[in-house]
Amino acid sequence: MVRFENEAVGQEKRRLNPNIAAKYHLGTPIEKVNFSFSISQSKKSIVNTASVIQFPIKLAFACTAHKVQGLTVQKPQKVIINVEDAFADAMVYVMLSRVCALIQIYILN
């Protein structure tokens, strides 16, 4: 169960699971995903496989302009810049210059 800050996120999932939604107010059920893959490097008849069990949650975090100095934000990661909170133009430049492609940039305000 995950409770998102934005109540609209997971709304459809909660609607489809009314029993869970009643028990966990605004909690969104996240279902685990299972898949197998081959870990064998040889082409012998015996194939070694591994199973992965995980919950499809993506970690996101925020950084200050000072923290991203010297970093390179690789594709497909995104940078969301709130220019209203920047107290100097140079801070915005630093944040903009960290990405590899323009498609990675989202500017707020």
Given a cut of 70, the residues of the chain with pLDDT beneath it are 42-46
- Alpha helices by DSSP H, listed for the chain, are 11-16, 18-23, 65-68, 89-96
| Distance between CA atoms of residues 78 and 68, nearest Å | 13
pTM for the complete prediction? 0.44
| Beta carbons of 51 and 34 less than 8 angstroms apart | yes
Q: Tokens in use for 45?
A: 């008849």
Report pLDDT digits (tens) over 86-102.
778 888 888 888 899 99
| pLDDT at residue 77, rounded to an integer | 86
| pLDDT at residue 61, rounded to an integer | 73
Residues in CB range of 89: below 8 A, 6 or more apart = none
| Distance between CA atoms of residues 60 and 42, nearest Å | 37
| pLDDT at residue 88, rounded to an integer | 81
